[in-house]
Amino acid sequence: MALLTMLSATAPTWSAPAPAVALPLMSPASGRCPDVNEAGTTNGTAVILWTCNGQSNQMWSKPIPPPGSGGSGPCDIYSEGGTPCVAAHSTVRALYGSYNGTLYQVRRSSDNATRDIGVLAPGGFANAAAQDSFCAGTSCVITAVHDQSGRGNDLWYQGSAQVPGSSQSSPAKATSESLTAGGTKAYSLYINPGNSYWRDGHLTGVPTGAAPEGAYMVTSGTHVNSGCCFDYGNSETTRKADAAGAMDAINFGTQCWFGGCAGSGPWVQADLEWGLYSGGSQSWNTNQRAFTSKFVTAMLKNNGTSRFALKGGNAQSGGLTTLWNGGLPSGYSPMKKQGAIVLGSGGDCCKPGGGANLSAGTFYEGAIVSGYPSDATDNAVQANVTAAGYR
C-alpha cells in the first residue's frame, strides 16, 4: 500500500510494492488508526477510522528507495534502507548530508576551558583548525563525542561529571593522531588503556531486549592490543556483566577470548557479554580473518532472536568480507540488550570504585541503527566510507 498522506473515504489504488517498511498511522484528532474495512485488499475498499490494534489491515507501507540513491552520509543511507541511526558519532565528519552541528568537545589543560568542534560545511568534515587554534600552546583532551542523530546520545568519557568513573579513568588526548579525510585535516579519538566513553541511551532510541539492531565503525588495524575490550555498541546501563546477551557491540582487537584462534588478528568480533564471539559458538570461526590496514570498517548486525552477522573491510577501498552470517550462540536467544552505548571499553568497566579500560583502539566514526540492515545497505555504507578519502 502507499503511505497515506491524508485520510479519505476510500482506500487508494495500490499495486505490488517496492521493498518497504510497514508502520501504523494514527489520527491526532481522534487517536484512532486508518483501518481497511473488513481487512479488504481490493481497490476501492473503504478506509475507516478504528481503534488501533496493530493488525495487518492497519499497517501501511512506505517504499524504500535503493540504498545510496539519495543523501550523502552513512546515516542517510541507513535511513533510506529503513534502519535509521539512533546514535551517530565521529571526530572526522558529518554522518548526515545536512548535518551542521558539533562533532566533539575538547578541553584544554591551561584553564580547563572547553570548545565544541564542528564541521567546515553542512555534511562536511571536521574543523581541525579550530581545535589547533584553541589548543595552541597547551594540551587538550576529548571530553565528549556528540551524537548527530538528534536523540542526544552524546558519549562522555567515563570519569567525567556526566559519567562518573573509576580513579583510573581519563579522557583521551585530543592530538594523538591526525589524519586527512576529504582532503582536510582531522583528528581521531585515540583510545589508550584508561580511556573510554559511555551513554545511557535506553530511553532515547537505542534498541533494548530482543529488538533488532545494527552498528558499524571505522577503526584502525595499526593501533590495537589484547586488553578487554575495545568495543562500540550496545551495553549495560548498570556497567556490570549482567547476562549473556546483555551486550551487542562490535569488538576490534587481538583478544582471543575462548582460545583456538588462527593468527594474531586484529579481528572483528561480537561482544555479546560473557565472551567475544568470532562466530556462532565458542569454537573459532574459520571464516575469520585479520584486518591490519590503517583504516578498517567493522560491522555487526543482530536480529535479536536467531541470527547475527559480522563483516569487515578496508575503509579506503574495496568491499566488505562477510565473516559470519548465521545463528546466535547457545544461550543468547533472545538477546537481552539494555540500551547503553559504550566506546573503547567492555560493558563491565570503569564504574566508581572499579577498574579501568585495558584496551587500545582508534575510533573515527560509527553509528548504531534500529532494525536489521540489508546487505545492500551495508554495501552502500562501505562505499560511502571508502569515498570519504581516509588517508
Q: Which residues carry out catalysis?
A: 273, 348
Residues 6+ away with beta carbon under 8 Å from 16: none
Is residue 232 within 8 A of residue 249, CB to CB? The reply is: yes
Phi, psi of 58, deg, nearest 5: -115, 5
C-alpha span between 330 and 353 (Å, rounded): 33
Cα Rg, the chain, nearest whole Å: 22
Is residue 343 within 8 A of residue 198, CB to CB? The reply is: yes
C-alpha span between 104 and 95 (Å, rounded): 13
For residue 271, give the amino acid letter: D
C-alpha span between 252 and 237 (Å, rounded): 21
Look up residue 268 and give its three cell numbers. Answer: 572483528
Across the strands, what pairs with 142?
A: 106, 172
Burial of 93 (0-12, 13-18, 19+ CB in 10 A): buried
C-alpha span between 259 and 307 (Å, rounded): 23
Distance of alpha carbon 382 from its chain centroid, rounded? 14
Is residue 24 within 8 A of residue 51, CB to CB? The reply is: no
Burial of 29 (0-12, 13-18, 19+ CB in 10 A): exposed
Is residue 43 within 8 A of residue 14, CB to CB? The reply is: yes
